[in-house]
Amino acid sequence: MIVRIVSALVLAPLTLALLFFGTSQQLCVVVSLIVAGLLYEWHRFRPPLVRVDLALSICLGWLLVISHCMGRADWLPALLTGGLAIFLGVATWRFSPENRVLDRTGFLVFGQIYCTMPLVLFLQIHAMPHGPSLLGMLLLIVWGTDIGAYFAGRAFGKKKLAPQLSPGKTWAGFYGGLAFGTLAGWLAATLLLATYKPWHILLLGLILSLVGQWGDLAESMVKRESNVKDSGSLIPGHGGLLDRLDSLLLATPVLNLCLFGVDLIGN
């Protein structure tokens, strides 16, 4: 518990400082490193670890991030499609009846969609007007949801939320996470995004908190299927990068969609 708190107290300020005071180049470098770490943990879910698959996956992930950082987001569809073609080509070269080509290729491509594309969208939001403030709000919603779920679950948790996926999660923790995450989002928006209407922020906070908890359960499902407890051990008290970022990986695309919807309605 103490190790978990200390890790959070160190990493949270560093993350916010990078968002608000770091350059776009620095953010791109950090995101590229995170993408490599996420894809490495993702490939460990399907042992044995195939180095060729991992190297191709990380290279494609970096190309997706770099293309956005260079202002060439129009390259993303071509890169994803080209990556699929390369994966299929390598699978064809190594084909055997036991290789399960469709299963392996689908696993590689989904790894890019799950691990890389949300962080590309994270960079996209950062480049928007008020982008750092929007991401700061998103992070506080995710962190607030985790804190609320943890303490509400410990204090009032009896009925299990999804015992087959994550035995420790309870309905009390779920509701506590929603309440605390929504409140954290509202407070963050009040400080950082005064132009937004309060009820819009409350609704957005509720949606992102809900999706964040869904992301947590989704990663638990993957770990359960792979028969592992944590995706890694990089972050003391938290496990791996996927364990720490699972909520963010689903909440970021939803925030992007919400912003797109607001912009579409506004026009």
Model pLDDT for residues 105-120, shown as the tens digit of each residue = 888 889 999 999 999 9
Whether residue 236 contacts residue 216, with contact meaning beta carbons closer than 8 Å, is answered with no
Cross-strand pairs, 235: 239
Residue among 87, 200, 73 nearest 134 (CA): 200
In sequence order, which residues have a C-beta less than 8 Å from that of residue 24 and are 6 or more positions away? Answer: 69, 123, 126, 127
Residues in the chain: 267
As a whole number of angstroms, the distance between CA 87 and CA 252 comes to 27
Report, in angstroms and rounded to the nearest whole number, the Rg of the chain calculated over CA atoms.
19
What's the gap between Cα 20 and its chain centre?
19
What is the mean pLDDT of the segment spanning 200-213? 92
Residue 95 φ then ψ, to 5°: -60, 140
Cross-strand pairs, 170: 160
- Is the pTM value of this prediction over 0.85? yes
Look up residue 52 and give its two tokens: 């060729």
For the chain, the maximum distance between any two Cα atoms, rounded to a whole number of angstroms, is 60
Model pLDDT for residues 54-82, shown as the tens digit of each residue = 999 999 999 999 999 998 888 888 998 88
Residue 132 φ then ψ, to 5°: -60, -35
Model pLDDT for residues 22-47, shown as the tens digit of each residue = 999 999 999 999 999 999 999 999 88
As a whole number of angstroms, the distance between CA 138 and CA 26 comes to 20
Which pLDDT does position 267 carry in this prediction?
A: 42
